[in-house]
């Protein structure tokens, strides 16, 4: 740890010495003559240098900029426990940050403490059916270890360069339509509550905290470790792609495929058609062993296109699940990711209204609504597989859908007029979705007040309030979403 501290100091980090209650600011060694309360001894470091604070005052959206007053880079869970207790004493807000991949300040903490979870990144064990990992481990890093062993998590987000703690705090939606979210494949958690208690929890041990942490947006605790499901991974993936121009035809075929249940993944990518509108690009995937390749004619039978008209490709499983990571790395390389405004719109819609909603909204979108590196997404999800009470998905029949508009501005940098237009658009489209029985997937760019959150949680709102009071009685955890503001 001496070498670690020296390394960080060499980067210009300022190690915090204490906290000055009268000014609600952090003291450095140079200010030791001032009256302060000493920060507890840590295995990692607590820093206040401007570069560190600025880095944690942004996220992928680049819309909200809330600057913390300190950043913790923990080297142990005990660091988090100590600092949560310290911050509780002085009513300092605390938020955990994985990769900052939400888009409206959800992981930011104005004038508080940000905990950078990426320094807790140990894979503790891998078994045939489970992996035990720190919350700061990236899904893609685990994949690169376990896929060669013939294993994979059953549910993966498209972009896998995200931390376990981050996606498990939000939900984690995959293109695997017949399964639940990532939060539905967790055996056990380690959580630091707002009281600074380190607790192991599961469906049998402290189940209330377990449920409050999974998709709980960090309101009752900070996930520090997780035991998650693993399943066998087949070595190859056959992908199918077909383009539709008609909403009704697309949904007819899409529903036929999910109801058959013969494919492993199915999703739509909405892309500009060059004439001012959007095409529906159906994407399907089937995992397989080379000894038993899929039958294309069987899988694609009875659709609006013949199997021979589909674009078909076989790719290694690991390359397939890392495809979005490769795409985002390319956007970063060409300067169209970092600093770009990403006002994403993300809603869950019930089966009964999704076709009408998408059919009405898509024709109203312009080139600006997507941008050069953006696109639309539509995932189907099996309702009965979603078991976590605080991942608020619609009441529906067998299916509901995630509809995303992954907007990207044309170039990096501020653009107040664009920002105002997209905020107004997102609010308008969300109100329409809520009238259609939809709920918000809370990674996107939309301002929510307390009334919005009460509607979002519905019958679960009183339970969330109770659990907040039990596990974070002083209300210091994760102010970014504004749920209890």
Domain end point (choices 119, 135, 167): 119
Checking if the pLDDT of 13 tops 70, the result is no
As for how many domains the chain has, the answer is 3
Q: Report the candidate in 300, 263, 254, 249 with the shortest Cα–Cα distance to residue 399.
A: 254
Q: What's residue 423's pLDDT?
A: 98
Rounded to a whole number of angstroms, the distance between the first and last alpha carbons of the chain is: 38
Question: Are 331 and 315 part of one and the same domain?
Answer: yes
In this structure, is residue 240 part of a structural domain? yes
In this structure, is residue 405 part of a structural domain? yes
Q: What is the mean pLDDT of residues 266-284?
A: 93
Checking if the pLDDT of 64 tops 70, the result is yes
Question: Are 262 and 396 part of one and the same domain?
Answer: yes
Q: Report the candidate in 26, 67, 25, 23 with the shortest Cα–Cα distance to residue 46.
A: 26
Question: Are 97 and 135 part of one and the same domain?
Answer: no
Strand partners, 378: 268, 403
- Chain-wide mean pLDDT for the chain? 94
Q: Using pLDDT thresholds of 50, 70 and 90, give the confidence band for residue 10.
A: very low
Containing 253, the helix (H) or strand (E) segment is helix 247-260
Q: Which CATH number characterizes residue 220's domain?
A: 3.30.465.10
Domain membership of residue 200 as a residue range: 123-232+463-471
Q: Report the candidate in 474, 481, 485 with the shortest Cα–Cα distance to residue 89.
A: 474
Question: Are 104 and 220 part of one and the same domain?
Answer: no
Q: What is the tens place of the pLDDT at every residue in 400-456?
A: 999 999 999 999 999 999 999 999 999 999 999 999 999 999 999 999 999 999 999
Question: Are 95 and 131 part of one and the same domain?
Answer: no
User: pTM for this structure?
Assistant: 0.94
Alpha carbons 96 and 48: distance in angstroms, whole number: 16
Q: What's residue 29's pLDDT?
A: 62
Question: Are 260 and 359 part of one and the same domain?
Answer: yes
In this structure, is residue 291 part of a structural domain? yes
Q: What is the mean pLDDT of residues 101-126?
A: 97
Q: Report the candidate in 285, 315, 311 with the shortest Cα–Cα distance to residue 299.
A: 285
Question: Are 297 and 424 part of one and the same domain?
Answer: yes
Question: Are 111 and 129 part of one and the same domain?
Answer: no
In this structure, is residue 33 part of a structural domain? yes
Q: What is the mean pLDDT of residues 297-301?
A: 98
Question: Are 378 and 284 part of one and the same domain?
Answer: yes
Question: Are 165 and 74 part of one and the same domain?
Answer: no
Checking if the pLDDT of 33 tops 70, the result is no
Q: What's residue 272's pLDDT?
A: 87
Contacts of 11 (CB under 8 A, 6+ apart): none
Checking if the pLDDT of 26 tops 80, the result is no
Q: Using pLDDT thresholds of 50, 70 and 90, give the confidence band for residue 329.
A: very high
Q: What's residue 41's pLDDT?
A: 93
Checking if the pLDDT of 306 tops 60, the result is yes
Q: What is the tens place of the pLDDT at every residue in 177-196?
A: 999 999 999 999 999 999 99
Q: What is the mean pLDDT of residues 457-469?
A: 98
Question: Are 278 and 416 part of one and the same domain?
Answer: yes
Contacts of 192 (CB under 8 A, 6+ apart): 77, 80, 81, 84, 198, 199, 221, 222, 224
Q: Provide the CA 350 distance to its chain's centre, in angstroms.
A: 21
């Amino acid at each position: 740890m001496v070498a670690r501290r020296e390394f960080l100091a060499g980067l210009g980090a300022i190690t915090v010495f204490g906290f000055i209650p009268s000014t609600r600011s952090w003291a450095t060694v140079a200010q030791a003559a001032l009256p302060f309360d000493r920060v507890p001894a840590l295995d990692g470091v607590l820093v206040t240098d401007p570069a560190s604070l600025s880095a944690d005052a942004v996220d992928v959206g680049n819309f909200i900029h809330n600057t913390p007053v300190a950043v913790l880079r923990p080297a142990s869970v005990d660091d988090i426990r100590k600092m949560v207790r310290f911050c509780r004493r002085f009513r300092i807000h605390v938020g955990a940050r994985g990769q900052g991949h939400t888009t409206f300040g959800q992981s930011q903490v104005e004038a508080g403490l940000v905990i950078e979870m990426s320094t807790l990144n140990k894979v503790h064990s891998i078994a045939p059916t489970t992996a035990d990992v720190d919350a700061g481990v990236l899904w893609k890093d685990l994949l690169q270890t376990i896929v060669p062993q013939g294993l994979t998590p059953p549910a993966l987000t498209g972009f896998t360069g995200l931390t376990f703690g981050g996606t498990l705090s939000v939900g984690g939606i995959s293109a695997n339509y017949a399964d639940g979210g990532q939060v539905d494949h967790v055996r056990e958690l380690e959580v630091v509550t707002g009281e600074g208690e380190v607790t192991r929890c599961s469906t049998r041990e402290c189940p209330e905290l377990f449920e409050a942490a999974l998709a709980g947006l960090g309101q009752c605790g900070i996930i520090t470790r997780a035991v998650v499901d693993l399943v066998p991974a087949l070595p190859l993936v056959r992908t199918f792609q077909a383009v539709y121009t008609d909403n009704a035809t697309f949904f007819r075929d899409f529903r036929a495929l999910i109801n058959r249940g013969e494919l492993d993944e199915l999703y739509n990518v909405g892309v500009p058609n060059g004439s001012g509108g959007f095409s529906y690009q159906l994407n399907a995937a089937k995992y397989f062993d080379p000894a038993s390749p899929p039958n294309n004619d069987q899988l694609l039978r009875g659709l609006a296109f013949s199997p021979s008209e589909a674009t078909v490709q076989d790719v290694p499983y690991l390359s397939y699940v890392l495809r979005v990571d490769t795409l985002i790395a390319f956007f970063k390389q060409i300067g169209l990711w970092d600093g770009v405004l990403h006002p994403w719109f993300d809603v869950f819609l019930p089966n009964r209204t999704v076709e009408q909603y998408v059919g009405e909204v898509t024709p109203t979108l312009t080139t600006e609504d997507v941008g050069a590196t953006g696109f639309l997404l539509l995932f189907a999800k099996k309702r009965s597989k979603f078991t976590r009470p605080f991942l608020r998905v619609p009441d529906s029949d067998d299916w509901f859908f995630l509809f995303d508009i992954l907007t990207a501005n044309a170039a990096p940098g501020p653009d107040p007029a664009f920002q105002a237009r997209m905020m107004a658009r997102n609010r308008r489209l969300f109100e329409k979705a809520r009238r259609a029985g939809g709920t918000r997937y809370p990674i996107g760019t939309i301002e929510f007040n307390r009334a919005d959150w009460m509607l979002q949680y519905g019958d679960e709102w009183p339970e969330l309030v109770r659990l907040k009071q039990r596990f974070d009685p002083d209300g210091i955890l994760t102010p970014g979403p504004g749920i209890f503001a």
